[in-house]
Structure 1
Amino acid sequence: MRVLGSYAWVYLTSGSGWFQEAGRPRRRVRAGDLLLLFPEIPHAYGPDAGGRWDEIHAVFDGPVFDLWRARGLLVPEQPVRSLRPIRRWFLRFASVLAPALSPLERVVRLQEVLAQALASADRSRGPSRDTAWAARARALLEENPGSELYLSEVARALGMSEETFRKRFVRATGVSPWRYRLTRRTEIACRWLHEGGLSNKEIAARLGFSDEFHFSRCFKRITGRSPTQFRALVDRG
Structure 2
Amino acid sequence: MSLSAMEIAGRACHTRLGACGRQRCEPGWRLAPGWARGLVDYDLWFVWAGRGRMILEAGEIELSAGTCLWMQPGRRYEAEQDPAQRLGVNFIHFDLCAAWSGLPLSAFAPPFEVWRTPEVEFTDLVMRRVIALREETGTAPTAAEDLLGALLQTLAHEHSAAETSPPGGLDRHHRGIVERIAAQVRESPAEAGGVDELARAAGYSVDHFSRVFLKVTGVRPQDYVINAKIERARQLLLESDFTIGAVAEAVGFRNIFFFSRQFRQRTGLTPTQFRRGA
Range class of TM-score, shorter chain: 0.3 to 0.5
- TM-score w.r.t. the length of structure 1 is 0.43
Which of structures 1 and 2 has the bigger CA Rg? 2
- TM-score w.r.t. the length of structure 2 is 0.37
Larger strand share, 1 or 2: 2
Larger helix share, 1 or 2: 1
